[in-house]
Structure 1
């Protein structure tokens, strides 16, 4: 019976995490925003990505910037770029990661693979290699973007991936800040709780700033898992670790991404 309950949660969380973005109205970019786009195919994931970059108004390749890598760039890039512009954050470069062809977020943002979604889940390790070995070097070398620090933003299943990246032991975590909104902590029998425990058993340092958020209208399960994960992290004594967490008032799953982004950017920068 317990196994069946968890299976129901997996299926529900995958559907919500993968398809809840459909139907969102995309905001137009403010006219003063400087941006450009390009595509690249990853050798690791075999997927073609569409990359959008927002530059500060007075961008200079000799300067260092806070570089934010935004998951689900197809859906959130314009809104996130407008938030940065409205907040007058002159030292931020925004890199939106989207898809040129079929959206593969269900594969890229999840691990382990769920046998109920063969070929459509479990690719997070390959996607992290894409970020580490292809995308980040490309924007640094070919786009002339030098980072004083790097931030990863993810929402829902993207939030799961952001936290998955945080507790990796076999790959380098290239990020100084992690923003995880409405994270799908239910994925694969709450695998992230075990991953964090394994990390804590091996390391007592975690040199990173973490911002977690969840909306109060996102349902009991999402809030319950969020609270449990926050309490687990608060009980740790990681050296160099900074944790911010927030429950967003009157906020649903669809509305939480940009609210989380704006609040976290205001706090982190």
Structure 2
């Protein structure tokens, strides 16, 4: 999640997908509208159906859900799934669900052990809007899912860190568990981070599970979601990020993690005759 756009969420989701795939079957869920997301190109390139072939009003099987996904492979040979909307740009937009529980249910049908959700809603705005409306909100919905470790992304700039600090204050005000929240600061250039970024990282380190700084990598800028040819420093940061997420989960719920709850199956309607 992030407070603003341009925070590196999708890059972080890709790094986590690759990192978690070494620990178990993994999927990256793309929650963005099709024309604002880089993920659909992966599905189009592999000619898979994506979300469009999964009818929301009919029972789904594990094989059907997994066959709708694209597959990506990391430098170590581990692979993970990507589920997005890979149709042509001019097709009617899909009515994607906002409720995190709906995506959790889809992931449970797919049978993955690790799920990375690439969200698009602005974190702090969602929290404030939900509070004023007396609703739960999407951010709390994601926090409340079983074994969820929220990852907050921000550009490693003075403005990026300010937006992130404001979002963290909103999370604290709502009583959400910052101690199992991981922060990622995405560097936008080479060199030492600005003073404001270093100070923000120090402050956030004492309030969250971990703060991971991902260095600038020209390959990410050029190839976006491709993680097979990253610099060694970037790979080390990605490993640190994956380790921080797993450590936050284990510190909260134990090691090994208990079995995740399975959503109750829908009861088929019976027509009286």
Report which structure shows greater RCO (CA 8 Å, sep ≥6): 2
Q: Who wins on radius of gyration, i.e. which is larger?
A: 2
Quick check: which one's strand share is greater?
1
Give the structure-2-normalised TM-score.
0.42
Give the structure-1-normalised TM-score.
0.42
